[in-house]
Chains A and B, each alone.
Chain A
């Protein structure tokens, strides 16, 4: 089903997304890939403390973005030419972020855009935290760059292409791969295809 969604997420919108939906995403998203994930992960772990009621909290100010209800795009773009918002901007392989993702979901992150399979731990954390994983078309970086209307490096500038960018997107095309109910399109895609053609 084709859906037009706004991010950061409202709860209702997220609950309605199902694996296989073709979505057009508009709103604010953040780019982060390997090195930025490692930094955020280490920062959270280093600032975690036990509240008197027993809950494990962390210093939210330690992160360059508020994860709550937000979406991270696994992206390291090429540099923008003069007059362009951003260079080529397609998804990178998500599985390299698997180690860090459950913790970010626990701390409020609700969506990831990337490509490729996720670990069982990530899929479980997506269900547990009522989140969603989208795939964008790999290798379509020039096309996807046209949906990014603003981009600004907000942290980890020294990482170059791996810095965290705050980006305004309009009608960014993606496919829901893993939904909050535990459905996983990559697991069913091949079967679905054979059913469709027979």
Chain B
């Protein structure tokens, strides 16, 4: 059995927090570049060009791409043949976040209680989703999530009879409702099926999928493409100030569900869709 010490995990998580907030992943960069070429509103084009300039400044001067450096959300795949020694895994990830947000000059945006609202001062606790998988590796994906877009997310408990049309109409409804608030151009993460909480979790996980990739299910991939087209016909545009490019990608994750239901979750993300994966 392979052994992994949590010192390695802490150090990796620290670096990932900093990197994810300073350097946008290549898939997102490419999408923004394509969008700037395709956009036909002059103001929209200007905004997209500013966003690309912003990425250059962020990387060069080590200033976070966005001031909302997010809640640190993790998807962690734990190989069942891996032995972890040292701290508890969750404590190690939180320690990495603590160090990363401090040393990376990232914003501490977490309050300890939703009503009393005292800042914890180190951006912990992180939100961590674990999966047990084959093998002896630890795969960590970080997705620091800003709340301008998070606040515009929605869960719909659709009926089976709502069908594909119901799914599309609901996602469009969520995008229109988000309007300028979620900082378009968006990446729209969708979770379809499962139950109430799995739909929401899948919607978040969908955001970590490469922008431009498609669901492995053909009928779902088709909906992704059609939805992207429809969203980009709304005219909301960059910054919500009118234009062709309202979304850069629609990513749908789907799962088996109950005979009586069709849960649908829409997790909005702005163009600063940060995600980074490392295997230890």
Q: If the complex has contacts A138-B148, A142-B63, A197-B40, are A78 and B241 also in contact, measured as CB distance less than 8 A?
A: no
Interface contact B57-A193, CB-CB below 8 Å: no
Interface contact B66-A139, CB-CB below 8 Å: yes
Interface contact B183-A138, CB-CB below 8 Å: yes
Interface contact A92-B68, CB-CB below 8 Å: yes
Q: Does A116 count as interface, using CB distance less than 8 angstroms?
A: yes
Q: If the complex has contacts A90-B67, A92-B148, A93-B181, are A186 and B58 also in contact, measured as CB distance less than 8 A?
A: no
Interface contact B63-A87, CB-CB below 8 Å: yes
Interface size on A, residues (CB 8 A): 46
Q: Does A51 count as interface, using CB distance less than 8 angstroms?
A: no
A1 to B236 Cα, complex, angstroms: 21
**Chain B, interface size: which category?**
35 or more
The distance from the CB of B61 to the nearest CB of chain A, in whole angstroms, is 7
A140 to B146 Cα, complex, angstroms: 13
The distance from the CB of A136 to the nearest CB of chain B, in whole angstroms, is 9
CB closest chain-A residue, reference B41: A193
What DSSP secondary structure best describes chain A's contact surface?
mixed
Q: Top 4 A-B pairs ranked by shortest CB distance? A: A193-B242, A138-B183, A116-B181, A190-B235
Q: If the complex has contacts A35-B117, A139-B51, A175-B241, are A87 and B271 also in contact, measured as CB distance less than 8 A?
A: no
Q: If the complex has contacts A135-B241, A138-B148, A175-B241, are A78 and B106 also in contact, measured as CB distance less than 8 A?
A: yes
Q: Does B29 count as interface, using CB distance less than 8 angstroms?
A: no
Q: If the complex has contacts A146-B57, A189-B240, A190-B242, are A87 and B67 also in contact, measured as CB distance less than 8 A?
A: yes
Within 115-135 of A, Cβ neighbours of B (below 8 Å) are at 115-117, 135
The distance from the CB of A93 to the nearest CB of chain B, in whole angstroms, is 5
CB closest chain-B residue, reference A145: B63
In this complex, which of B54, B117, B121, B243 has the most chain A Cβ atoms within 10 angstroms of its Cβ?
B54
Q: If the complex has contacts A88-B67, A160-B119, are A116 and B61 also in contact, measured as CB distance less than 8 A?
A: no
A87 to B57 Cα, complex, angstroms: 12
Q: Does B130 count as interface, using CB distance less than 8 angstroms?
A: no
In this complex, which of B41, B240, B243 has the most chain A Cβ atoms within 10 angstroms of its Cβ?
B240
Q: Does B179 count as interface, using CB distance less than 8 angstroms?
A: yes
Which residue of A77, A87, A137 is within 8 Å of B239 (Cβ)? A137
Which residue of A77, A139, A140 is within 8 Å of B107 (Cβ)? A77
